[in-house]
């Protein structure tokens, strides 16, 4: 048999605990932070932060590369899958990375870094993070600049003596620069017709 | 077992099997059965439709024999089979398998054909930047089992030890932070049901009948319950600076796959997901964590998420310019087309199946919209001249697969059928022609949400109806 006093003490303690819990939850939501995680510095993130804002080139690292060095890098690191002079083809893993400039009004459009990329640093970003496919992030910044120079040279966008670096790369005039516009859908407004409707038809090639 | 189960079991089997003796139902009775409110409780409403009456009688018979596995006689197998004496099933005469001490359950071997498949319409020369497709013809509910969830990788499947994994949040934030998985798991979490669709779903079937099955034509589509941490919680922890308008999401795979995402979407309903259908993500779905952006194209849901950088502008990287953009007239390209617009497809019957003779079939399929909830699905059997409202099965969830059904009686004559969905923005799924009037159909064209036809010939064979 629990005494009245003991029961009152229990009730009091229970109410106090409940009030504390409410206070703590309330304090948490006021602050809106949980305090998990560890603060990191830019230095800690140096190897991780590989973002490049490709229109401005912001984020491009120090370093430089030339077409002639890039040709050697390409032949050692890229040619096995992309073919000689980046021409690709059926016997390689991928299709051409050269040409297609002026094909955007044609069918098919030939999509290469030269014809498609609106900003030259896109190539640096992609090669650095994803190439070569079997050992990504293994190339130095100089090598990435160099192989980028080689690819853009093959596409006729820079001269043979071009020095590719963080200043020159964003300056390259890309043919597809103004071809993009931001999503404007819905671009179709269909009716919910139930009877005597237009047949669904097809755009199949006859 | 109830009537519906009886029908479902029969119909599935009879459709995929080559039948030697098609049921000889006289043609021209009725093309389209009247949709019933509930197959389990046939109404007594006046109905002079012979086909419909016949079907209802047949449903009552179904109820009478429920539990006796007499499904053959209901589904169109021969009468002799239905009336022959039934033997005691082998499974009732011997002890079943014992319960394993531990196990991860797998489907029974009879279902071994239900697998993801790489596309054999577009055959890539390597299988690291490639995709595999969900067998929608075999998906009988709105949840895709984890082992059947479609795949799209850019440089293979990363396999990451969660003890080693780190997620960094930095850029335009007050406190750059890095989290371990243990720390992430302590944050408040949410669970939500949503579909995911690849922007390239259907790209082989714009202007030619590239696909033979719905797995090939629509199988870059799956649906799951996702569990994880709202992005808003994590970003609040780091404190977004006022100039932070976009975030860069980057994966820890060999392609360092990344996308720029507007802050508005990230703070609205995006989650850092670790759970998929009640278990941790599969490796091929980004274990231990991935971004999940409801209704947005699959590639924005960056897998193996390792870095969130708050920035002031989109980065316009390769996956936002040279890839995942839509060719438009005049040599133009549409970019940042993120929402997967309202779409639907009939999965039963669908390409590669064969109807087991004339008679009752329940049309089944899925509808979904990256912009909201499905409100209507209509089905045509005459190539789009006449449409019939299908039954939309609840729960109808925001940005999730919604199942639809329609009772139908096939008279044995050739049919061109298709479905058309409407979402709660009022958007009506367009025809491919309507899309092509606005867009340029050239090359690998993304965002195909056009009405998709199947043709059933007089033999009951179902094939891609893009002619």
Is residue B172 pLDDT above 80, yes or no?
Answer: yes
Of B209, B255, B333, the CB nearest to A179: B333
Q: Please write the tens of the pLDDT for every residue from B189-226.
A: 999 999 999 999 999 999 999 999 999 999 999 999 99
pLDDT at B5: 35
Q: How many CB pairs under 8 A join A and B?
A: 221
pLDDT, mean over chain B:
87
Q: Please write the tens of the pLDDT for every residue from B412-428.
A: 999 999 999 999 999 99
Residue B82 binned pLDDT confidence (cut-offs 50, 70, 90): low
Do B267 and B157 share a structural domain? Answer: yes
Do B120 and B61 share a structural domain? Answer: no
pLDDT at B13: 43
Cis peptide bond upstream of A108, omega within 30 = yes
Task: Say if B98 falls within a structural domain.
Answer: no
What whole-number distance in Å separates Cα of residue A14 and Cα of residue A26?
18
Is residue B266 pLDDT above 50, yes or no?
Answer: yes
User: Measured between beta carbons, which residues in chain A are less than 8 angstroms from residue B336?
Assistant: 182-183
Task: Say if B199 falls within a structural domain.
Answer: yes
Task: Say if B103 falls within a structural domain.
Answer: no
Please answer yes or no on whether A36 and B255 come within 8 Å at the CB atom: no
B433 — contact with chain A (CB < 8 Å)?
yes
pLDDT at B98: 97
Please answer yes or no on whether B316 and A53 come within 8 Å at the CB atom: yes
Q: From B453, which residue of chain A is nearest by alpha-carbon distance?
A: A200
Optimal mutation site among A122, A188, A198, interface B, most CBs of chain B within 10 A: A188
Orientation angle between helical segments B50-64 and B3-16, nearest 10 degrees:
110
DSSP string across B352-391: T-B--SSEEEEEEEEEE-TTS-EEEEEEESBTTSSEEEPE
pLDDT at B76: 34
Do B353 and B260 share a structural domain? Answer: no
Please answer yes or no on whether A136 and B256 come within 8 Å at the CB atom: yes
Report which secondary-structure segment, H or E, holds B437. helix B432-438
Angle at B301 between CA B296 and CA B305, to 5 degrees: 160
Q: Please write the tens of the pLDDT for every residue from B296-318.
A: 999 999 999 999 999 999 999 99
Q: From B317, which residue of chain A is nearest by alpha-carbon distance?
A: A122
Task: Say if B320 falls within a structural domain.
Answer: yes
- Show the 3-state SS of A136-205: CCCCCHHHHHHHHHHHHHHCCCCCCCCEEECCCHHHCCCCCCCCEEECCCCCCCCCCCCCCCCCCCCCCC
Residue B415 · residue B458 · CB < 8 Å: no
Q: Which residues of A45-80 are buried (b: 16+ CB within 10 A; e: fewer)?
A: beebbbbbbbbebbbbeebbbbbebbbebbeebbbe
Of A116, A185, A202, the CB nearest to B466: A202
How many CB atoms are closer than 10 A to CB B361?
22
Dihedral sign computed on CA atoms, order A124, A126, A131, A135: positive
Do B186 and B259 share a structural domain? Answer: yes
| Average of per-residue pLDDT across B357-380 | 98
pLDDT at A32: 77
Of A33, A39, A50, the CB nearest to B176: A39
Dihedral sign computed on CA atoms, order B441, B445, B448, B452: positive
Optimal mutation site among A53, A122, A202, interface B, most CBs of chain B within 10 A: A202
DSSP string across B170-203: EESBSS-EEEEHHHHHHS--EEEEEEEE-TTTTG
Q: Please write the tens of the pLDDT for every residue from A123-159.
A: 999 999 999 999 999 999 999 999 999 999 999 999 9
Residue B42 binned pLDDT confidence (cut-offs 50, 70, 90): very low
User: Measured between beta carbons, which residues in chain A are less than 8 angstroms from residue B385?
Assistant: 195-197, 199
pLDDT at B61: 39
pLDDT at A23: 46
What whole-number distance in Å separates Cα of residue B338 and Cα of residue B319?
12
The CATH number for B200's domain is 3.90.420.10
Is residue B80 pLDDT above 80, yes or no?
Answer: no
Token pair for A75: 């032949």
User: Measured between beta carbons, which residues in chain A are less than 8 angstroms from residue B322?
Assistant: 111, 113, 116-117, 122
Please answer yes or no on whether B155 and A136 come within 8 Å at the CB atom: yes
Which of B295, B324, B353 terminates a domain? The answer is B324
Of B309, B316, B430, the CB nearest to A188: B430
**Domains (range + CATH), chain A:** 64-171 (1.10.760.10)
Domain of residue B33: give its range.
Answer: 3-90
Do B320 and B195 share a structural domain? Answer: yes
pLDDT at A17: 57
What's the gap in Å between the CA of B432 and the closest CA on chain A? 7
User: Measured between beta carbons, which residues in chain B are less than 8 angstroms from residue A185?
Assistant: 334, 337, 339, 341
Is residue B323 pLDDT above 90, yes or no?
Answer: yes
Task: Say if B100 falls within a structural domain.
Answer: no
Optimal mutation site among A90, A107, A190, interface B, most CBs of chain B within 10 A: A190
Residue with tokens 């949410």: B190
What's the gap in Å between the CA of A150 and the closest CA on chain B? 18
Do B362 and B318 share a structural domain? Answer: no
Is residue A30 pLDDT above 50, yes or no?
Answer: no
What whole-number distance in Å separates Cα of residue B150 and Cα of residue B132?
6
Do B123 and B64 share a structural domain? Answer: no
Do B438 and B406 share a structural domain? Answer: yes
pLDDT at A20: 54
pLDDT at B272: 98
Do B374 and B305 share a structural domain? Answer: no
Which of B254, B289, B324 terminates a domain? The answer is B324
B451 — contact with chain A (CB < 8 Å)?
yes
What's the gap in Å between the CA of A96 and the closest CA on chain B? 14
Please answer yes or no on whether A180 and B332 come within 8 Å at the CB atom: yes
What's the gap in Å between the CA of A95 and the closest CA on chain B? 10
What whole-number distance in Å separates Cα of residue B251 and Cα of residue B257?
5
How many CB atoms are closer than 10 A to CB B103?
7
Do B371 and B278 share a structural domain? Answer: no
Do B320 and B347 share a structural domain? Answer: no
Optimal mutation site among B262, B321, B418, B464, interface A, most CBs of chain A within 10 A: B321
Task: Say if B191 falls within a structural domain.
Answer: yes
Q: Please write the tens of the pLDDT for every residue from B145-160.
A: 999 999 999 999 999 9
> Which region, left, alpha or beta, applies to residue B447 given φ > 0 means left and ψ of -120 to 50 means alpha?
left
β-pairing, B271-276 with B221-230? antiparallel
Task: Say if B432 falls within a structural domain.
Answer: yes
Residue with tokens 């022959």: B84
The CATH number for B441's domain is 2.60.40.650
What whole-number distance in Å separates Cα of residue A11 and Cα of residue A14?
5
Q: What is the Cα B131 distance to its own chain's centre?
A: 15
Specify the 3-state DSSP secondary structure of A47.
coil
Q: Please write the tens of the pLDDT for every residue from A84-101.
A: 999 999 999 999 999 999
What whole-number distance in Å separates Cα of residue A99 and Cα of residue A87?
9
> Which region, left, alpha or beta, applies to residue B60 given φ > 0 means left and ψ of -120 to 50 means alpha?
alpha
Q: Which of residues 225-284 of B touch A (CB under 8 A)?
A: 233, 236-237, 248, 250, 254-256, 258
B128 — contact with chain A (CB < 8 Å)?
yes
Strand ranges across the sheet with B454-456: B387-389, B374-380, B415-423, B454-456, B462-464
Of B208, B318, B384, the CB nearest to A125: B318
Do B348 and B205 share a structural domain? Answer: no
Residue with tokens 């599969």: B282
What phi, psi does A130 have (nearest 5°)?
-125, -5
Pick the closest to residue A147 from A50, A65, A63, A51 (CA basis): A65
pLDDT at A174: 98
Count of domains forming chain B: 3
Pick the closest to residue A129 from A42, A49, A50, A43 (CA basis): A50
User: Measured between beta carbons, which residues in chain A are less than 8 angstroms from residue B183?
Assistant: 36-37
Is residue B77 pLDDT above 80, yes or no?
Answer: no
What's the gap in Å between the CA of A3 and the closest CA on chain B? 41
Residue B119 · residue B131 · CB < 8 Å: yes
Specify the 3-state DSSP secondary structure of B95.
coil
pLDDT at B11: 38
Task: Say if B394 falls within a structural domain.
Answer: yes
């Amino acid at each position: 048999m629990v005494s009245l006093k003991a029961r009152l003490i229990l009730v009091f303690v229970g109410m106090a605990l409940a009030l504390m819990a409410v206070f703590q939850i309330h304090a948490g939501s006021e602050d809106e932070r949980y305090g998990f995680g560890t603060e990191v510095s830019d230095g800690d993130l140096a190897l991780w932060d590989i973002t490049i804002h490709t229109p401005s080139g912001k984020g491009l690292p120090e370093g430089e590369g030339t077409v002639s060095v890039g040709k050697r890098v390409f032949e050692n690191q890229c040619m096995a899958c992309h073919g000689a002079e980046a021409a690709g083809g059926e016997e390689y893993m991928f299709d051409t990375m050269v040409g297609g400039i002026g094909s955007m009004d044609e069918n098919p459009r030939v999509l290469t870094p030269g014809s498609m990329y609106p900003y030259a640093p896109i190539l640096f970003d992609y090669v650095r993070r994803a190439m070569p496919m079997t050992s990504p992030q293994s190339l130095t910044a100089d090598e990435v600049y160099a192989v980028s120079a080689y690819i853009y040279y093959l596409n006729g966008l820079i001269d043979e003596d071009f020095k590719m670096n963080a200043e020159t790369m964003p300056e390259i005039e890309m043919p597809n620069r103004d071809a993009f516009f931001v999503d404007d859908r819905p671009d179709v407004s269909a009716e919910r017709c139930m009877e005597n409707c237009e047949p669904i038809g097809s755009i199949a090639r006859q | 077992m109830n009537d519906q189960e009886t029908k479902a079991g029969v119909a599935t089997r009879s459709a995929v099997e080559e039948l030697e003796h098609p049921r000889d139902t006289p043609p021209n009775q009725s093309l389209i059965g009247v949709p019933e409110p509930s197959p389990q409780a046939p109404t007594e409403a006046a109905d002079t439709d012979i086909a419909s009456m016949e079907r209802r009688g047949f449903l009552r018979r179904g109820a009478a024999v429920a539990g006796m596995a007499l499904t053959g006689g209901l589904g169109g197998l021969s009468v002799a089979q239905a009336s022959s004496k039934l033997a005691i099933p082998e499974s009732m005469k011997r002890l079943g398998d014992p319960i394993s001490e531990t196990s991860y359950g797998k489907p029974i071997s009879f279902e071994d054909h239900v697998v993801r498949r790489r596309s054999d319409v577009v055959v890539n020369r390597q299988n690291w930047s490639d995709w595999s497709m969900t067998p929608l013809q075999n998906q009988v509910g709105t949840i895709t089992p984890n082992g059947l969830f479609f795949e799209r990788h850019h440089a293979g499947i990363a396999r990451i030890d969660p003890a080693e994994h780190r997620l960094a949040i930095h850029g335009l934030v007050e406190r750059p932070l890095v989290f371990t998985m243990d720390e992430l798991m302590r944050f408040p979490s949410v669970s939500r049901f949503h579909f995911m669709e690849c922007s390239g779903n259907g790209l082989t079937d714009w202007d030619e009948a590239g696909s033979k099955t719905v797995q090939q034509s629509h199988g870059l589509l799956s649906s799951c319950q996702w569990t994880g941490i709202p992005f808003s919680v994590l970003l609040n922890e780091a404190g977004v600076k006022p100039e932070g308008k976009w975030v860069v999401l980057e994966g820890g795979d060999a392609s360092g796959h990344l996308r720029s995402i507007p802050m508005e979407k990230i703070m609205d309903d995006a989650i850092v997901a670790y759970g998929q259908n009640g278990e941790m993500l599969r490796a091929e779905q980004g274990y231990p964590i991935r971004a999940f952006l409801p209704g947005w194209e699959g590639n924005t849901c960056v897998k193996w998420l390792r870095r969130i950088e708050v920035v002031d502008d989109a980065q316009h990287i390769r996956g936002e310019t040279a890839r995942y953009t839509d060719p438009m007239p005049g040599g133009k390209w549409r970019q940042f087309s993120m929402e997967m617009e309202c779409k639907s497809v009939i999965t039963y019957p669908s390409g590669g199946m064969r109807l087991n003779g004339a008679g009752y079939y329940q049309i089944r399929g899925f509808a979904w919209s990256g912009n909201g909830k499905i409100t209507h699905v209509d089905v045509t059997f005459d190539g789009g001249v006449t449409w019939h409202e299908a039954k939309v099965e609840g729960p109808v969830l925001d940005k999730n697969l919604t199942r639809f059904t329609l009772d139908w009686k096939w008279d044995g004559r050739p049919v061109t059928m298709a479905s058309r969905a409407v979402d709660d923005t009022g958007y009506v799924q367009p025809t491919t022609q309507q899309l092509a009037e606005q867009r340029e159909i050239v090359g690998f064209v993304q965002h195909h949400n056009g009405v998709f036809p199947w043709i059933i010939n007089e033999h009951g064979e179902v094939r891609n109806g893009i002619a």
